[in-house]
Amino acid sequence: MAPPSEPTASTKGRQIPIVCPGHTRPLAELQFCSVNDNPNGDDEPRTFLVSACHDKCPMVRDAESGDWIGTFKGHKGAVWSCRLDPAAFLGATASGDFSVKVWDAITGSPLHSFPHKHVVKSCDWSPDSKRLATGGNEGILRVFDIVHPEKAPLEFVQSEKEVVSISKCNWIDNHTVLAACSDGSIRFWNVDASDPTQQLTRTLQVKDGVRDMELQTLSSNNKTILTVAAGDKVTFFDMATGDMIHSYKMPIHFREEGGASLHPSGAKFIAGGSDLWVRVFDFESGRNWNVIRGIMDR
């Protein structure tokens, strides 16, 4: 297959972005969540956009229009992560106030609050919505049972030698959680294994501390790709084999902020970090296709 050609002025057209005002501090994380309200699956799915922000007020919007739907109010510190469960009935937020909260995503009411001992940077729902994984500066991956929230969480220490903070955690399936860490490791944890020697099943490694991590299943071949933003590189792994597919040096760094996301087609990816620009790159070659400048540069 020939590599995709670079967009030109005659082919790419002019796009008018939807601006979603409301937040007053930097954003920490975004998530799109698509659900189908019709049990027969006949209608187009509705997509929500949730945003975690340092202003302590994570928000839910309609992703098509950008219209505000609601705000989860209750945190006393910056919110680093906000996720809807796969059915969009529940919300979860991870905060600098040393807590993770679970919300009724329909009414916005708080349902549970899980205390931690340090800043919590990430949270993620299991595919069946029954469990919630969290991670942060403690270097402990925790898994909470939402069906029985009174139970103590499962805990998985990332390193016995030193504290390595967790920047992102993602479920692969209902039994396995990925934890991306400040030591450049992406650890695969079987959270249902009772034998501690069987819990850590695989480790992928990049050179620098991981800032961002994302799983994407390609529409073209159903292959699942792990995208990792760390240091000044974006690296892609084949989840079936664990092999590195590409690793590209970026004109930006991800030491303090930013991330990368692979398009579902697998043809291109975006990256943004130490400046106010979002860049579009070709997946196969790493060639920079386009630059989208931040609002402060206009």
pTM as predicted? 0.88
8: pLDDT strictly greater than 70: no
Query: What pLDDT is stored for residue 15 in this prediction?
Result: 67
Q: For 60, how many CA atoms within 13 A lie in the half-sphere containing its CB?
A: 26
Query: What pLDDT is stored for residue 26 in this prediction?
Result: 84
Question: What is the C-alpha radius of gyration for the chain, rounded to an integer number of angstroms?
Answer: 19
Q: Residue 66: what are its φ and ψ, rounded to 5°?
A: 85, 0
Confidence band for 52, pLDDT divided at 50, 70 and 90 = very high
When pLDDT is averaged across residues 281-289 and rounded to a whole number, the result is 95
Residue 226 near residue 260 (C-beta atoms within 8 A): no
Query: What pLDDT is stored for residue 256 in this prediction?
Result: 80
Q: Residue 196: what are its φ and ψ, rounded to 5°?
A: -55, -30
Residue 47 near residue 34 (C-beta atoms within 8 A): yes
157 Cβ contact list (under 8 Å, min separation 6): 139, 140
Worst-scoring range by mean pLDDT, 2-6, 52-56, 93-97?
A: 2-6
Confidence band for 39, pLDDT divided at 50, 70 and 90 = low
Distance CA 113, CA 51 (A): 19
- Interval 155-187: pLDDT, tens: 999 998 999 999 999 999 999 999 999 999 999
Residue 203 near residue 187 (C-beta atoms within 8 A): yes
When pLDDT is averaged across residues 26-48 and rounded to a whole number, the result is 80
Query: What pLDDT is stored for residue 12 in this prediction?
Result: 53
Residue with tokens 């402990």: 140
As a whole-number percent, the residues of the chain with pLDDT over 70 amount to 91
Biggest CA-to-CA distance, the chain? 59
Query: What pLDDT is stored for residue 46 in this prediction?
Result: 87
Angle among Cα 180, 214, 252 to the nearest 5 degrees reads: 85
Among residues 200, 257, 262, the alpha carbon closest in space to that of 228 is found at 262
When pLDDT is averaged across residues 149-156 and rounded to a whole number, the result is 97
Residue 73 CB burial class (10 angstroms; 0-12, 13-18, ≥19): exposed
Confidence band for 4, pLDDT divided at 50, 70 and 90 = very low
121: pLDDT strictly greater than 90: yes
When pLDDT is averaged across residues 261-280 and rounded to a whole number, the result is 89
Q: Residue 295: what are its φ and ψ, rounded to 5°?
A: -65, -30
Amino acid at 73: K
- 198: three-class secondary structure by DSSP: helix
2: pLDDT strictly greater than 90: no
Both structure tokens of 193? 């294994």
Residue 172 near residue 188 (C-beta atoms within 8 A): yes
Amino acid at 70: G
Distance CA 268, CA 251 (A): 16
Q: How far is CA 13 from the centre of its chain?
A: 29
Residue 56 near residue 75 (C-beta atoms within 8 A): yes
Q: How far is CA 17 from the centre of its chain?
A: 22
Residue 169 near residue 142 (C-beta atoms within 8 A): no
